[in-house]
């Protein structure tokens, strides 16, 4: 479904006049301000901020009826009116003709499904060939180890599935509640800020509270986060984003910490088996993401709840994950290290080793762009009738394909190094962002080209994350990894928040293209940092893959 404009847009004066009428009516519906495209400058602060929190003085019935009567009388033949949309909106008499025409075309729908099937077939073929060529490992033949892995996977995969199920329709849900793009950007910024704040103290919180209790707490907080999506109140949704940040911090700290402690301390399995567990978890994490996208598309279309349906469907999965953790897992704690000492040690390591500093620069620049991409893909593709769940599954299949290509490239046959693949990933993203600056030009949008560029970005992510994980383990001392990663996350999230705030203050039509242009410049800086790192480590034998092994990169996905 495409929405195209017939005639010229209203000029700034006309939009201001329309905004005046919205404000004078005291409307609390952000849809009115979306139509006007502005917040009137002369309105009181209470009325300007009111739509952000969905609280504003209500207009009287006589005011609304007069406005609606004028809108109907002034409408041109065939023009949308309040009655035709089932919701009130005023029309300024001096506003030039601007009609919304719905065009149903199969282009984006067919492209999405074809891409999904093609990527899925490619991934399946690569994985089947890899499984046939790989001899069975020692860990796979140990029944006790397999039972222990199963107890961990049952809970961990349910948690991951609930997390992925919400991803395709988050932006669409806020749009469904008639929030402006600027308001949605603030919600995303709140989630990112919550993630970085809770991420700084997550390790200490998990050690103090207990790993099992932290996993159960994750199930509770994430369930509450999903329940907040049933409300259209802006403040409630902000609270939900804060709970989502806490839950994300727990998801990527508590589960991994519990498994490693149980693996080494309680069951006394060889530490060399840990990478195999997380390599398998990484593969199934991608598979779960692909399935979750299809499931989200199905429940959003069939249940009848609309975009909120995937969030409701995630609650039983979270409840089951918490119940299985309570029943099957034992509690474990660890000796707490002072947060100040952890950060101080990480900062010393960051400043004393140029390799660590360059690696942190690459991570901050690359992943901040990925966060902005996560925000922008829905408003770029959704107006053209793209099936969001299938689009998301295609993204995850492309990422899985990238991970499979990473394993093939670092195998004994090709023997490429992670540093080479990291450089390739950054180059692919730079090229994709340049594509997006042209495919999102106002009035010349090309959704198919944008979709291809997004797929290339996800393919690059599949190459980037295992490469970055390998280099971090080799460059950063194990005792300082927690502190260094905390410092990595701060500029990463700050850059992402800054980008979203810039988008919040920009014009809707040109803002998206300008943001992709800014992201292109950021990725060029990341490419320069990659060149600098390659110059420093090109003769470092420690950063070479000695044998074709699978890398444990699940915690970073």
Residue 492's Cα: distance from chain center in Å? 14
pLDDT of residue 475: 83
What pLDDT was estimated at residue 434?
A: 93
What is the model's pLDDT at position 473? 84
Q: Which residues contact 157 (CB under 8 A, 6 or more apart)?
A: 281, 284, 285, 288
> Of 294, 320, 336, which residue is a domain's last?
336
Q: Are residues 460 and 368 in the same domain?
A: yes
Q: What are the pLDDT tens digits along the chain (557 aa)?
A: 433 333 333 343 443 343 433 443 333 333 333 333 333 333 443 433 344 344 333 444 444 444 444 444 444 333 344 334 344 434 333 333 333 333 334 788 899 999 999 999 998 888 888 777 665 544 457 788 888 989 999 999 999 999 999 999 999 999 999 998 888 888 998 988 888 888 777 777 888 888 899 999 999 999 999 999 999 999 999 999 999 999 998 998 889 889 988 888 888 888 888 888 888 898 899 999 999 999 999 999 888 788 999 999 999 999 999 999 999 998 888 766 566 666 676 677 777 778 888 888 898 899 889 989 998 899 899 888 889 999 999 999 999 999 999 988 888 777 888 889 999 999 999 999 999 999 988 888 899 999 999 999 999 999 999 999 888 888 887 666 666 777 777 777 778 888 777 765 555 567 788 889 989 999 999 999 999 988 887 766 666 776 544 444 433 33
557 in a structural domain:
no
Cα gap 468→419, rounded to integer Å: 8
Q: Does the residue 57 lie in any domain? A: no
Produce one character per residue of 265-274: b if its CB has 16 or more CB atoms within 10 Å, e if not.
eeeebeeebb
Residue the block writes with tokens 């049952």: 154
DSSP classification of residue 101: E
Same domain, 350 and 327: no
What per-residue confidence (pLDDT) applies to 57? Answer: 39
Identify the sign of the CA torsion 48, 52, 57, 61.
positive
Tell whether 395 and 406 lie within a shared domain: yes
Q: Is residue 109 part of a domain?
A: no
**Residue whose tokens read 């609650």:** 315
Q: Is residue 214, in this structure, part of any structural domain at all?
A: yes
**What pLDDT score does 546 carry?**
64
Reported as half-sphere exposure (CB side, CA atoms, 13 A), residue 491 has a value of 14
Helix (H, G, I), strand (E, B) or coil at 368: helix
Tell me how far apart the alpha carbons of residues 484 and 340 are, in angstroms, rounded to a whole number: 12
Is residue 256 located within the same domain as residue 365? no
One domain for residues 435 and 511: yes
Q: Flag whether 386 is in a domain.
A: yes
pLDDT at 428 (0 to 100): 96
Q: Would you say residue 45 lies in a domain? A: no
Residues 278 and 154 grouped into a single domain: yes
Where helices occur in 382-480 by DSSP H, the ranges are 388-409, 418-439, 447-475
Cβ neighbourhood burial of 64 (10 Å; 0-12, 13-18, 19+): middle
Cβ-proximal residues to 436 (8 Å cutoff; 6+ apart), any chain: 380, 450, 453, 454, 513, 516
CATH code, domain carrying 350: 1.20.1250.20
Quote the pLDDT of residue 226: 95
Residue 546 domain-assigned? no
DSSP letter at 75 equals P
Q: Return the pLDDT at 91.
A: 37
244 lies in the same domain as 355: no
Both 258 and 207 in one domain: the answer is yes
Are residues 191 and 282 located together in one domain of the fold? yes
Provide the whole-model pTM: 0.76
Are 309 and 346 within one domain? no
Whether residue 354 is found in the same domain as residue 386: yes
**End residue of a domain, out of 287, 304, 336:** 336
Count of the separate structural domains present in the chain: 2
Spell out the residues 6+ positions from residue 391 whose beta carbon is closer than 8 angstroms to its own.
112, 168, 293, 377, 381, 451
Domain identity same for 330 and 341: no
Backbone angles phi, psi at 507, to 5 degrees: -70, 145
Q: Is residue 125 part of a domain?
A: no
Locate tokens 């499904």: which residue?
A: 113
Distance CA(486)–CA(482), nearest Å, equals 6
Last-in-domain residue among 276, 308, 336: 336
3-state secondary structure of 99: strand
Alpha-carbon distance 262 to 279, whole Å?
Answer: 18
Q: Which domain holds residue 328?
A: 142-336
């Amino acid at each position: 479904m495409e929405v195209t404009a017939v005639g010229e847009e209203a000029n700034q004066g006309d939009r201001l006049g329309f905004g005046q009428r919205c404000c004078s009516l005291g409307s609390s519906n952000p849809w009115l301000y979306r139509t006007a495209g502005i917040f009137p400058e002369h309105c009181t602060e209470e009325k300007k901020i009111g739509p952000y929190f969905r609280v504003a003085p209500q207009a009287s019935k006589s005011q609304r009826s007069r406005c609606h009567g004028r809108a109907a009388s002034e409408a041109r033949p065939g023009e949308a009116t309040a009655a035709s949309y089932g919701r009130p909106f005023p029309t300024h008499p001096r506003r030039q003709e601007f009609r919304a025409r719905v065009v149903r075309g199969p282009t984006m729908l067919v492209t999405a499904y074809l891409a999904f099937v093609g990527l899925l077939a490619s991934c399946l073929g690569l994985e089947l060939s890899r499984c046939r060529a790989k001899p069975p490992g020692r860990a796979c033949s140990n029944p006790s180890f397999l039972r222990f892995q199963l107890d961990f996977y049952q809970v961990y995969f349910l948690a991951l599935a609930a997390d992925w199920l919400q991803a395709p329709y988050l932006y669409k849900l806020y749009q469904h509640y008639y929030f402006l793009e600027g308001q949605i950007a603030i919600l995303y910024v709140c989630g990112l800020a919550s993630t970085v704040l809770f991420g700084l103290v997550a390790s200490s919180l998990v050690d103090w509270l207990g790993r099992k209790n932290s996993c159960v707490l994750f199930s509770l907080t994430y369930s509450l986060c999903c329940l907040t999506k049933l409300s259209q109140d802006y403040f409630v949704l902000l609270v939900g984003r804060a709970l989502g940040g806490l839950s994300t911090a727990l998801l990527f700290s508590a589960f991994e910490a519990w498994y490693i402690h149980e693996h080494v301390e309680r069951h006394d399995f060889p530490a060399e088996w840990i990478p195999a567990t997380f390599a398998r978890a990484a593969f199934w994490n991608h598979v779960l993401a692909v399935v979750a996208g299809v499931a989200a598309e199905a429940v959003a279309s069939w249940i009848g709840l609309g975009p909120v349906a995937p969030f409701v469907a995630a609650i039983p999965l979270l409840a089951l994950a918490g119940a299985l953790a309570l029943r099957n897992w034992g509690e474990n704690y660890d000796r707490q290290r002072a947060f100040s000492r952890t950060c101080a040690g990480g900062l010393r390591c960051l400043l004393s080793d140029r390799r660590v500093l360059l690696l942190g620069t690459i991570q901050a620049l690359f992943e901040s762009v990925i966060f902005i991409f996560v925000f922008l893909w829905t408003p770029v593709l959704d107006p053209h009738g793209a099936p969001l769940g299938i689009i998301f599954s295609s993204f995850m299949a492309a990422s899985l394909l990238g991970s499979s290509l990473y394993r093939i490239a670092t195998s004994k046959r090709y023997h490429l190094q992670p540093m080479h693949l990291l450089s390739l990933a950054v180059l692919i993203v730079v090229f994709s962002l340049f594509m997006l600056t042209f495919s999102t030009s106002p009035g010349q949008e090309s959704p198919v080209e944008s979709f291809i560029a997004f797929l290339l970005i996800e393919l690059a992510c599949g190459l980037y994350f295992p490469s970055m994980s390998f280099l971090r383990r080799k460059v950063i001392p194990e005792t300082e990894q927690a502190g260094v990663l905390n410092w990595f996350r701060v500029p990463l999230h700050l850059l992402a928040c800054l980008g979203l705030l810039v988008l919040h203050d920009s014009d809707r039509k040109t803002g998206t293209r300008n943001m992709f242009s800014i992201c292109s410049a950021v990725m060029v800086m990341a490419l320069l940092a990659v060149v600098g790192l390659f110059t420093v480590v090109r003769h470092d034998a420690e950063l070479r893959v000695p044998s074709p092994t699978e890398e444990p990169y699940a915690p970073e996905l």
